Amino acid sequence: MFAISTRISLAAGPALLGLAVSAALAGPCTGPGAPTNTQTRCKTAVIIPGNAIRSFDISWVNPDRAEYYLGDRSNSGIDIIDTHSLMFKRTIGGFVGIVLNGAGAVDNNHSGPDGVTSHGRWLYAGDGNSTLKVIDLNAPKGSEIKDSIPTGGTTRVDEMALTTDGTILLAANNAEDPPFATLFAANGDNQVNTTHILRKITGDPAIIPAGAGLSMEQPAWDPTTKRFYVSVPIIANNPMGCNFDAASGPITCDGGLAVIDPTDGSVMVTTFDSVKNTGIVPLHACGPNGATVGPNDNLLLGCTPANNPANVTTLVINATTKNYANIGNITGSDEVWFNKGDGRYYTGSNRNCKVSGAPCPAAGQQAAVLGVIDGTSVLIETVPQSSGSHSVAADSKRNLIFVPQVAPAAAVGSGGDTTAVGAGICGTTNDDKGTGCVGVYVHRVDHDGDHDDHDDHGHDH
């Protein structure tokens, strides 16, 4: 996967050739992102062909297909990695890619692909032009996109979730003002595409007012309560009289958790109704981006000081009782993932506080980490990642954790890694500034401390 310097002479003896090769190559899994004292170990890195990775968004794993999917804006498509061989397979193109703003930085609101999820042969991905792409993974190369469905907005279709049977999809247009979600009839196990919009769902304007740039973020499906749970980063009057508009000063409002019943026909999510188990639940000390369903009907929410500077913990809330607990020493998460193979939560925490205390320190005192939390909501460890790292997904059958890394800023400019962490995870060559990669971590280790990722150790509960 790594280029060998062309300065090596083919006439050199075997010993000299070996020395030249080792000098030219720096393998993956070195430096701060590959500590030797953690339970979660760096195993390898997968390099994505094409453009160096400057911008990516959400990732997903289908363990039954042994495939990992990444919304790779730098290459305008969905990258697919074989989670068994840990080899790159292909990129499915057809997305808008990176869109730049007037300052030359990545415009997240209009770039794509963004959110991604899958069931069986069907992959669903949001694009920066407010469309949902429906992809048949079994189709011949070049014909994978079977539909591009407009959601009626002008900004990206972002994070999304499917019901267990893959027949209902909820996707959020997080950057619209006001934001909205779209409920789709999805393909389930169908052999042909029949995906179509069922209805648009907005937030109560008294809870998610227009004009302040508020948002809806990652949804998760809970099969126990048969509800979608959607992270809402900031809601009005939580607590009463708080400021929800960044134009008026620092945000002091916390976020909420929108509970949506896909069968009730509602087109607006309003004040929480405990009898119906629908509506927006006000949260305490959490403005969430990520959401994932873990054991015992619990949801882990990725709280972040990017939404409310005072949010310095991570929240776990029970989907049935709405009782909650805060996890200290980890915050700033975007995508979060529960791996049922090892019973652990993994967080893509791009704004974790280096220094404890509220409010969370300024940008220079925040770092990107992979957070590891066990099923009892105890923080196990944090592992350094490249700056901006915010996406994570795990293969439950192989207990492998996939964390994308941007290329160094020296290679891609604004948006690139400003630390040395990503280059260590990805590996570099003497004549290469770095391209970014998908870092692969493994949880299970044997008694000798070596990586132990045999397939028979992964299992579904």
Task: Report the CATH number that the domain containing residue 158 is assigned in CATH.
Answer: 2.130.10.10
Q: Which residue has the tokens 């900031």?
A: 234
b/e sequence 137-167, b meaning 16+ C-beta within 10 Å: beeeeeebbbbebebebebbbbbbbbbeebb
Rounded distance, CA 155 to CA 131, Å?
9
| pLDDT confidence of residue 429 | 57
Whether 83 is covered by a domain: the verdict is: yes
Task: Look up residue 371 and give its DSSP letter.
Answer: E
Whether 277 is covered by a domain: the verdict is: yes
Residue 64, Cα to own-chain centre: how many angstroms?
20
Strands, E, within 107-226: which ranges?
A: 116-119, 122-126, 131-136, 145-150, 160-162, 168-173, 180-185, 196-203, 219-222
Instruction: From first to last of the 461 residues of the chain, give the pLDDT tens digit.
Output: 333 333 223 333 333 333 334 434 578 999 999 999 999 999 999 999 999 999 999 999 999 999 999 999 999 999 999 999 999 999 999 999 999 999 999 999 999 999 999 999 999 999 999 999 999 999 999 999 999 999 999 999 999 999 999 999 999 999 999 999 999 999 999 999 999 999 999 999 999 999 999 999 999 999 999 999 999 999 999 999 999 999 999 999 999 999 999 999 999 999 999 999 999 999 999 999 999 999 999 999 999 999 999 999 999 999 999 999 999 999 999 999 999 999 999 999 999 998 877 888 877 788 999 999 999 999 999 999 999 899 999 999 999 999 999 999 999 998 999 999 999 999 975 456 789 999 999 997 443 444 444 433 333 33
| pLDDT confidence of residue 365 | 84
Our CA dihedral for 367, 368, 374, 376, rounded to 10 degrees, sits at 60
Whether 448 is covered by a domain: the verdict is: no
| pLDDT confidence of residue 25 | 58
Rounded distance, CA 385 to CA 436, Å?
12
**Token representation of residue 92:** 């499915």
User: Residue 290 half-sphere exposure, CB side, CA atoms within 13 Å?
Assistant: 35
Whether 35 is covered by a domain: the verdict is: no
Whether 45 is covered by a domain: the verdict is: no
If one counts every other C-beta atom within 10 angstroms of the C-beta of residue 112, the result is 29
Whether 157 is covered by a domain: the verdict is: yes
Whether 27 is covered by a domain: the verdict is: no
Entry field: residues in the chain:
461
Do residues 172 and 217 touch, judged by C-beta distance below 8 A?
yes
181 SS3 class: strand
Q: What angle do CA 219, 223, 225 make, to 5 degrees?
A: 90
Whether 174 is covered by a domain: the verdict is: yes
**Structural domain range at position 297:** 66-387
Do residues 299 and 256 touch, judged by C-beta distance below 8 A?
no
Task: Look up residue 223 and give its DSSP letter.
Answer: T
Q: What are phi and psi of 3, to 5 degrees?
A: -70, 140
Do residues 157 and 148 touch, judged by C-beta distance below 8 A?
no
Rounded distance, CA 41 to CA 445, Å?
8
Per the structure, how many domains does the chain have?
1
| pLDDT confidence of residue 386 | 97
| pLDDT confidence of residue 358 | 81
